[in-house]
């Protein structure tokens, strides 16, 4: 069984395109070594991420992310176990999401990043999970 964790976090500071590219290269290299796959969405100062792999590797990576000074207000959205990978071909798929794209996917005309940190009664209704699921369906 493979473990997965989906979370959302606020960027602690504005990350330049160059720094984001370096972050992705580092993540992809490390994830390949650790047999972790997943998806990262960057949306107006927010990271939405899904990681999957062997339980100890996912737990280690998530604890490393929790200590990473580029993240703040980390909120776990969902976790569990699957028999198969959702992102089997991606050491780290990436999407920079713009408001108009979020509107098309979610139907939120005025989606604000604060909404991504609101408590939702059902995790299935959380906009960040809906965004991840949309990209998973369209890979």
Q: Give me the pLDDT at residue 63, please.
A: 93
What was the pLDDT predicted at 100? 67
Count helices and strands in the chain by DSSP H and E runs: 4, 5
Residue 70 has pLDDT above 60, yes or no: yes
Provide the residue range defining the domain that includes 88: 2-137
Q: What is the CATH number of the domain that holds 100?
A: 3.30.70.100
Mean local confidence (pLDDT), 88-107: 72
pTM tops 0.75, yes or no: yes
Q: Kindly compute the dihedral angle of the four CA atoms of residues 92, 95, 96, 102, in this order, to the nearest 10 degrees.
A: -140
Q: Write out pLDDT tens, residues 10-24.
A: 888 888 889 888 888
| Total domain count, the chain | 1
């Amino acid at each position: 069984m493979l473990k997965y964790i989906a979370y959302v976090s606020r960027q602690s500071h504005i990350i330049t395109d160059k720094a984001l590219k370096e972050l992705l290269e580092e993540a992809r290299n490390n994830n390949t070594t650790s047999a972790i796959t997943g998806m990262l969405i960057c949306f107006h100062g927010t990271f939405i991420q899904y990681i999957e792999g062997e339980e100890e590797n996912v737990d280690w990576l998530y604890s490393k992310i929790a200590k990473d000074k580029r993240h703040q207000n980390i909120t776990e959205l969902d976790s569990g176990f699957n028999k198969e990978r959702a992102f089997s071909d991606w050491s780290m798929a990436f999407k920079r999401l713009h408001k108009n794209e979020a509107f098309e996917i979610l139907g939120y005309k005025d989606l604000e990043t604060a909404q991504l940190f609101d408590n939702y009664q059902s995790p299935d209704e959380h906009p960040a999970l809906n965004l991840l699921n949309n990209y998973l369906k369209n890979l």
